[in-house]
Amino acid sequence: MKTATVRDLRNRYTVLLEWVAAGEEILITRRGNAIARLVPETSSGANDIVNWSESPAVTRNRDGEPVLSRDDAAATLKDSSGSW
């Protein structure tokens, strides 16, 4: 594992990113104390396919759940619209 200071991170981030891309972990220190760790990404994410049709929000059984009428929905929106 390589070590770099916050100043190295700020001034030489492209070199540090090359190290990470090559598989190296980098410990970032400030005044001699470890504050962060840069590690290579293990998955590119390009091959991760999400099938939303199988998500719990879609497959949930909604039988017996209350259905708001138009007036109830309008009242709820009116009550929740205000200055935060």
CATH number of the domain within which 9 lies: 3.40.1620.10
In a domain, 75, yes or no: no
Predicted confidence at residue 35, as pLDDT, reads: 95
> Is residue 13 situated within a structural domain?
yes
Q: What is the dihedral of CA 77, 78, 83, 84, to 10 degrees?
A: -40
Q: Is residue 78 part of a domain?
A: no
- Look at residue 9 and tell me if it is in a domain: yes
Count the domains in the chain: 1
What integer pLDDT is reported at residue 81 of this predicted model?
A: 87
Does residue 43 belong to any structural domain of this protein? no
> Whole-angstrom Cα distance, residue 77 to residue 70?
11
> Per-block average pLDDT, block size 10, for the chain (84 residues)?
92 93 93 94 72 87 89 91 75
Predicted pLDDT at 45? 61
Domain encompassing residue 25: 2-38
**DSSP assigned state of 47:** T
Q: Which residues of 46-74 are buried (b: 16+ CB within 10 A; e: fewer)?
A: eeeeeeeeeeeeeeeeeeeeeeeeeeeee
Q: Is the residue at 26 inside a domain?
A: yes
pLDDT computed for residue 51 by the predictor: 85
